[in-house]
Amino acid sequence: MILRFRRIDRLENHPNLRGILAILAQLVHTSDVELNQLASVWRNTPQLAAARDKALSPDAPLVIEVLAAFDALSAIYADDLAGIDDYVTVDPSVTATALKAVRDAIAAAYAKPILTRSEYAALLRPWRTVYPRSRGHEPDLGPFGSEVKRVLAALPVLARRCHDADSLRTYDRLLVAALTRDEIAHRDAMQIAFNSAVRTGRRRVWTLVRRSAAEGFWRLCPSCNKMIDSVDVGTDQRVMELCADLACALLVQDILDPDTVASLTAPLHTLVPLQERYDSNRHRQAPGT
Tell me, what DSSP letter sits at residue 31?
-
Q: Are 126 and 101 in contact (CB under 8 A)?
A: yes
Backbone angles phi, psi at 150, to 5 degrees: -65, -40
Helix axes 145-158, 230-251, angle to 10 degrees: 170
Asked if pLDDT for residue 5 goes beyond 90, the answer is no
Tell me, what DSSP letter sits at residue 229?
-
Q: Are 107 and 52 in contact (CB under 8 A)?
A: yes
Express each pLDDT in 269-281 by its tens digit. 999 887 676 566 6
Asked if pLDDT for residue 109 goes beyond 70, the answer is yes
3-state secondary structure of 275: helix
Of 142 and 40, more confident: 40
Q: How far is CA 160 from CA 32, 223, 278, in A?
A: 40, 12, 11
- Residue count of the chain, please give it: 289
- Pick from 121, 99, 98, 126: nearest CA to 108: 121
Express each pLDDT in 58-105 by its tens digit. 999 999 999 999 999 999 999 999 999 999 999 999 999 999 999 999
- Tell me the pTM: 0.83
**9: pLDDT confidence band, cut at 50, 70 and 90?**
confident
- Please tell me the distance from the alpha carbon of residue 86 to that of residue 98, in angstroms, as a whole number: 20
Express each pLDDT in 180-233 by its tens digit. 999 999 999 999 999 999 999 999 999 999 999 999 998 877 656 655 554 467
What pLDDT, on a 0 to 100 scale, did the predictor assign at position 1?
37
Which residues lie closer than 8 Å to 155 by C-beta, 6 or more apart? 213, 216, 217, 219, 243
- Please tell me the distance from the alpha carbon of residue 81 to that of residue 228, in angstroms, as a whole number: 34
Asked if pLDDT for residue 4 goes beyond 60, the answer is no
